[in-house]
Amino acid sequence: MKFKVNEVFYSVQGEGARIGRPCLFIRLTGCPLRCTYCDTEYAFYEGGMREVDDLLAEVRQRLGPPRKGPNAPFVELTGGEPLAHPQAPDLLRALLDLGYEVALETAGSHDLAPVPREVVKIVDRKTPGSGEVQRWLESNLDHMVPGQDELKFVLCDQADYAWAKAWCAERAVWDRLEVLFSPVWGRLDPAWLAEQVVADGLPVRVQVQLHKVLWGAEKKGV
């Protein structure tokens, strides 16, 4: 089993409920989506083929032995769109079998059914401003685990905010899933977003991209 890998790097989790937590990232190459704000276009094509055993050996070497608790070693499969690789669920299972906590960053455009239930699924529901709002499988909501998985909305503008609020309310997703609202870097004022969420009393988590705050928007491998 081989995968085209763009990069493997150790950093802190830049987004989501686990923000700031040290994490080993495996970024796979390739994505069929073309979001207007994409910040990883270099992952569309760049990368090299690697055997899965080689990848797993690097994970073990860089994370050390698995352990439980809040400081457990953490690894995330990201992209691009990792589920564009048909064997990505097998890689996720192999990472789980090593004993680590495992996360997946995905756009929700590919079926989550084959993904092991134990994997933390961080699912990005694309908004109208992304240009990819139609790239969504509604059935994926049935495969997200309450108390574990996260539903993320990256918002380009106030219209995206209104759309995301209505979409969540219609499905009452915030009653069972962690919902994240994030402003597109440099396009939507995060202070406005936070103030709006507070004023509307929304049960969502406002987030910014911590890695960009720390190292800037252009730096790779963070």
Secondary structure (H, E, C), the chain:
CEEEEEEEEEEECCCCCCCCCEEEEEEECCCCCCCCCCCCHHHCCCCEEEEHHHHHHHHHHHHCCCCCCCCCCEEEEECCCHHHCCCHHHHHHHHHHCCCEEEEEECCCCCCCCCCCCCEEEEECCCHHHCCCCCCCHHHHHHCCCCCCEEEEEECCHHHHHHHHHHHHHHCHHHCCEEEEEECCCCCCHHHHHHHHHHHCCCCEECCCHHHHHHCCCCCCC
The annotation places the binding site at 12-14, 27, 31, 35, 37-40, 78, 80
Which residues participate in the annotated binding site for substrate? 12-14, 27, 78
Residues in binding site for S-adenosyl-L-methionine: 37-39, 80
> Which amino acids are annotated as binding site for [4Fe-4S] cluster, given as ranges?
31, 35, 38
Give, in order, the Cα–Cα distances in Å from 216 to each of 20, 72, 105, 117, 157: 15, 27, 21, 34, 21
Q: Residues forming the annotated binding site for Mg(2+)? A: 40
